Structure 1
Amino acid sequence: MLNATNSHTTGKANLLEMRSAFISLATHEFKTPISAISSSIELLETKMQRDELMLPFYERNLSRIKEEIDILKNMVDDILTTGSMVAGNPVTQPEVTDILPFARMIREQYFSQRADRRRLHITVSGRRRNISIDNTHLASIFTNLISNAFKYSSGPGPLLCLHYRKDQLCIKVKDNGIGIPEKDIRFLFTPFFRAGNAIHKEGTGLGLAIVKSFVKANGGQITVSSNEAGSVFTVTFPY
């Protein structure tokens, strides 16, 4: 009986490793043509601008192609990250980090030139303290939560609140969006799951699963609350 159990466990582990390896191989193969298409678009855009051939029609459609390429890149990256998660908890490389300048850097790098001109607002309370965290994971946590806050809301930009408590840092991402149906909240961090009122938006349903995995790997916790006025994602990390 013990041998059968061990054999079953070993077989399951091998299957997970094979699935992870296949996902990794497949997504890497996708990234090569995506990079080639992206480079060709950049060259075409530069050439047309130099030759003064960039009419509004071409500029509009090239911009649309670039946006779709970025969406595809993000989807492939999410799938690749999920493949590594299948094999176990993500490996962390923690660094002592000042969250406020890091958050401002994420805002400027990813959310400062939106077509709708909405901005991410950042508030701070409490005495600033550093935390030890994997910065690659932290960037993914911020970009996923903030992207969703923009994607599923309109009107004023979302709010990022940094509250330095006595024994932990509390990070809240608030939006005034469509909210999350109560029946869907408990499944929200499940890979490939999408809330019933979000299926008309692009996405893989992997972002929040990745966020939870990275938060947990760095010793944190994540919760969500939502109503008709919007959603609030709360992440806490010990100092």
Structure 2
Amino acid sequence: MREPISGRAARKTSLQEMRSEYISMAIHEFRTPITAITSSIELLETKMELDALMLPFYKRNLSRIKEEITLLNNMVDDILISGSMVSGSMVARPEATDVVAFVGMIRRQYFHQRADKRQLSIRVSGARRHIYIDQSQLTGILTNLVGNAFKYSQGQGPLLRLHYGKKGLYIKVKDTGIGIPEKDIPFLFTPFFRGRNVGSRAGAGLGLAIVKRFVMANNGTIAVSSGAAGTVFTLMFPYVPDNNPGGHSA
């Protein structure tokens, strides 16, 4: 007898859940050595500075190691999040957020003291207000987009613009990189898709798919334009309703 459709669907769901759990367990095992390496690098860096041994050569290469650790951490996060997307267990927990302060924290924590000396520029315009967003997911959005902007740009660092419009906050991440082929743009937010011109640059092709999922989960929109001058990602998030406590910043 043929297996009922409901039985096949249940079995498929069970297999997806098992696969998601396995991925989650494996990824958590990766975090232990990554954390150990990070701690050792930070201790080594502190000790060398205290002993006045931090020559430019050592500082440059320690910074490079930290950048690669951040990249590896981001890839681990992307794989873990993709498992949540497949299982349907990913949910947004929004809260009133001052994005100007939040972006400053992201720059200090993830994009400070790069080995290549490039920096993330931040510009703000309009009357500053809070938006209602999951801060963990906002971190994933910003680190993915800004990280890609650094990865695919040369010369100068990327630009992040925050514009407080009438209906919501517009976030633009602009680079001066290699651009995205026009034929690739429709597939850009597809899991595991990578542009034909990325070459040997590291990446699993999950970041932008996750970004779009996070943006949609927080009632936002995302668009992309690209050309010879680089690529711009434009996001828009609505404000906290006026009757929501904390909806306006002081």
Please give the range of the TM-score, normalised by the shorter of the 2 chains: 0.7 to 0.9
What is the 5 A alignment of 1:21-36? 21-36=21-36
Q: Summarize deviations over 1:118-175 as a string: whole Å, max 9, x none.
A: 2222222332221111111111111111111111112232221212222222111111
| Cα 1:171/1:87, change in 2 over 3 Å | same
1:48 deviation in Å? 6.3
1:59 deviation in Å? 6.2
| Cα 1:201/1:125, change in 2 over 3 Å | same
> Is the 1:89–1:213 Cα contact (8 Å) retained in structure 2?
no
> Is the 1:176–1:230 Cα contact (8 Å) retained in structure 2?
yes
Q: Does 1:113 align with 2:145?
A: no
Q: Distance in 1 between matches of 2:128 and 2:54?
A: 48
Per the alignment, residue 84 of structure 1 pairs with: 84
Q: Does 1:199 align with 2:199?
A: yes
Q: Which amino acid aligns with 2:20?
A: S
List runs of 5+ in structure 1 lacking aligned partners. none
List runs of 5+ in structure 2 lacking aligned partners. 240-250
Per the alignment, residue 244 of structure 2 pairs with: none
1:56 deviation in Å? 7.1
Q: Which secondary structure state, in structure 1, belongs to the residue aligned with residue 8 of structure 2? A: helix
1:193 deviation in Å? 1.4
Q: How many residues align?
A: 239
Q: Summarize deviations over 1:51-78 as a string: whole Å, max 9, x none.
A: 7777777666655544433332222122
1:117 deviation in Å? 2.3
Q: Which amino acid aligns with 2:90?
A: P
1:50 deviation in Å? 6.5
TM-score, L = length of structure 2: 0.84
What is the 5 A alignment of 1:1-239? 4-43=4-43, 64-88=64-88, 90-239=90-239
Identity %: 65
Q: 208-217 or 29-38: which moved more?
A: 29-38
TM-score, L = length of structure 1: 0.87
Q: Which amino acid aligns with 2:194?
A: R
> Is the 1:75–1:204 Cα contact (8 Å) retained in structure 2?
yes
Q: Which amino acid aligns with 1:236?
A: M
> Is the 1:158–1:175 Cα contact (8 Å) retained in structure 2?
yes
Q: Summarize deviations over 1:66-96 as a string: whole Å, max 9, x none.
A: 4433332222122112111211162222111
> Is the 2:63–2:114 Cα contact (8 Å) retained in structure 1?
no
Question: Aligned Cα RMSD in Å?
Answer: 2.6
1:11 deviation in Å? 2.0
| Cα 1:56/1:101, change in 2 over 3 Å | closer
| Cα 1:109/1:44, change in 2 over 3 Å | closer
